[in-house]
Structure 1
Amino acid sequence: MTAPLLVTGAAGFIGMHVCEQLLNRGLQVIGIDNLNDYYDVSLKEARLARLKKHKGFRFFLIDISDRDAVANLFKTEKPSRVIHLAAQAGVRYSLEHPHAYADSNLTGFVNILEGCRAVDAEHLVFASSSSVYGSNKKLPYSESDPVDHPISLYAATKKANELMAHSYAHLYGFPCTGLRFFTVYGPWGRPDMAYFGFTRAILAGETIKIFNHGDMQRDFTYIDDIVDGVLKVFDNPPEADEAGPAYRIYNIGNDHPERLGYFVETLENVLGVEAIKEMYPMQPGDVQSTHADLTKIRRDFGFSPTTSIEEGLKKFADWYRGYYKC
């Protein structure tokens, strides 16, 4: 029997979509998640219910910060490859709950690395974040840019993950690839993300908060494009060469940043409702603009996002109305 694949954070937004595509290939997939209450647990359970319809899917309720539970999973299941998406997400949440980030993003990541070492994994793909670029002024962000000055604890933990994975790739030889995600959106998304909160408030006739008075840009990337990139990378582990170990970092975004104002206008159009807006200054830990340089991932894997913001938000709005029966 072919060894299963492991996806951590399987009940998460990106995790569910990645699992679905792997299962559609006919692969055996193990999913783990701790189903914490950072946001609505019922949404996570609904995502899991979709996955459990597939015969090739098995789920384990595990917190990655639990060393013994993670070690036992790797010992008994021996996954051949790992896509590590579990993490404590969110920049703003880290301002008040720092220990959650240390537990999940640092301790949890060490546990996953140790598991991969124990089974001599064929490839570990792990989630980093565009937040590692901090307040870098040069746009678009390139993987060769310095990322030594994070402006949030969340960003600092993601930079730490990149360093930790590099050391394991160097010491133990298993291939590691980190993906710096840029503002992922779409159906089954995270309620803590701005576009999700905007939608809820707009349909409820409530005020939405526009930070930095709308003078912001984001490289919004539709979920299907993200999953396409994740799997292209997953299928092609890096090899060690004279430049270093089998370790790579890639931006994975849209390479087409949108003004926050236009994003809100498009959301109003697809919802058919005008938003009530209030302007606020920039929040601590936030950045004015993000823009992914996709030269490297496009060269190596032919990755090229195809979903426009108009098409992507329309699909999200349709899903939202259906799921929440609006």
Structure 2
Amino acid sequence: MSTSWLGGLFGDVYAGRRVLVTGHTGFKGSWLACWLHSMGARVFGLALPPDAEPAHLPLLGLQFEEALVDLRNGPAVADALRRFEPEVVFHLAAQPLVRRSYREPHATFDTNVMGLVNLLEAVRAMPSVRVVVNATTDKCYQNLDTGRAYRETDALGGHDPYSASKACAEIVSASYRASFLAHDDGRGHPVALATARAGNVIGGGDWSEDRLIPDLVRAAMQGRITDIRHPGATRPWQHVLEPLSGYLLLGQRLWADPAACAEAWNFGPEAQGHLSVGEIVARFADEWPAVRHRLDTGPQPHEAALLHLDCRKAQHQLGWRPVWEAGTMLARTAAWYRGWHETGRVATRRDIQQYVADARRAGLEWASR
């Protein structure tokens, strides 16, 4: 896939642009860095070293500057921004795991809340930055298990420390936007800051602990059976490229009109993408017969039984909508892992190319040449 083939995406706003991706060593961050790099962006990374082996980012062979620092180290974060002088920041770095947050609540809040404060303080001091997209989660909502899809105006909350920390991150973002970034604040221009709330993402290259697809993949590669907890829990499942297209589209709109889109946005699947854990496991096993599972009946930490996102705001105001339905999402994900396991080939760039081609066929404006 050549950079020229991706020319024109998102109005070509990222070509030659200095773009910082925090969390670039993680699952979503590495996919985003690859997509930006393929569009001709000057990518910079800020994150801890990968915490899984194998890790997606090294498999991609990308060459760009990075700072392997902890968000909780404010001076190091500020030094990195001064060195990179980014124009656009996509903030994906986080402690992203619910079950780990029960074990490590202090570290979760420290990273997800004070780490964000450190980043935004560095942004305040950096005149080059014009756009910040802070990726949070669908779990930031006060989940009452009513069955209704959550809108951006619904109350924030969070039962577990991870969810609560992301609700806090939304409040911090709104506070910094109103107090400092929506006006000059000494930089010579405002900074457009928006938050993006996405559902459960899957795709090749995720080897995180305590995540459904990585657990299934590890077990399949080792000939083991996966224990499945909460099989009836329903989530808004989507391929990783779906929310990333939303983040990139949001960044484009923020660059063009900082005041119009600097707020919260949901990016989730259509109704048929809201599937139970049990349904995801069964359909993934259909794509890869080596996947075997059984029900884990032991005690489990609390997790929400039902999460739905209402994405009509992004559809109507940004012109964003999902591209791949559930069957395609699962087939592409299974093919990525099977291909890597059996041949060592990494299908990330091929998946991006196919996703863009499908978006063009669907008539999405961001994908037009």
2:151 paired residue number: 142
1:152 paired residue number: 160
SS at match of 1:136: coil
Of the three residues 35, 46, 64, the one matched with 2:49 is: 35
SS at match of 2:101: helix
1:277 paired residue number: 294
Q: Percentage identity across aligned positions?
A: 26
- d(CA) in 2 for partners of 1:110, 1:224: 27
1:264-293 deviation per Cα after TM superposition (whole angstroms, max 9, x unaligned) = 111111002462312426732311112111
- Residues 31-110 of structure 1: pairs in structure 2 closer than 5 A: 31-35=45-49, 37=51, 40-47=52-59, 49-52=60-63, 57-110=64-117
SS at match of 1:125: strand
Aligned residue pairs, count? 313
Give yes or no for contact 1:88–1:104 (8 Å, CA) kept in 2. Answer: yes
Give yes or no for contact 1:211–1:282 (8 Å, CA) kept in 2. Answer: no
1:248 paired residue number: 263
The alignment status of 1:314 with 2:331, answered yes or no, reads yes
TM-score, structure 1 normalization = 0.88
1:3-44 deviation per Cα after TM superposition (whole angstroms, max 9, x unaligned) = 62111011111111111221222121111111153xx14415
SS at match of 1:32: strand
- Mind listing any 5+ residue stretches in structure 1 that lack a counterpart? none
1:59-115 deviation per Cα after TM superposition (whole angstroms, max 9, x unaligned) = 221222111111112223221110000011100001111222133212211111011
SS at match of 2:265: strand
2:311 paired residue number: 294
2:23 paired residue number: 9
- d(CA) in 2 for partners of 1:200, 1:319: 14
2:139 paired residue number: 131
- Deviation, structure 1 residue 124: 0.7
The alignment status of 1:216 with 2:233, answered yes or no, reads yes
1:161 paired residue number: 169
- d(CA) in 1 for partners of 2:71, 2:319: 33
- Alpha carbons of structure 1 residues 203 and 36: separation in structure 2 relative to 1, 3 Å: closer
- Alpha carbons of structure 1 residues 21 and 261: separation in structure 2 relative to 1, 3 Å: same
| Structure 2 residue identity aligned to 1:26 | G
- d(CA) in 2 for partners of 1:209, 1:42: 22
- Deviation, structure 1 residue 296: 0.8
- Mind listing any 5+ residue stretches in structure 2 that lack a counterpart? 1-15, 183-190, 344-369
SS at match of 1:101: helix
Give yes or no for contact 1:216–1:289 (8 Å, CA) kept in 2. Answer: yes
Give yes or no for contact 1:134–1:155 (8 Å, CA) kept in 2. Answer: no
SS at match of 1:220: strand
Give yes or no for contact 2:116–2:169 (8 Å, CA) kept in 1. Answer: yes
- d(CA) in 1 for partners of 2:73, 2:342: 37
CA RMSD of aligned residues (A): 2.2
Of the three residues 194, 216, 222, the one matched with 1:198 is: 216
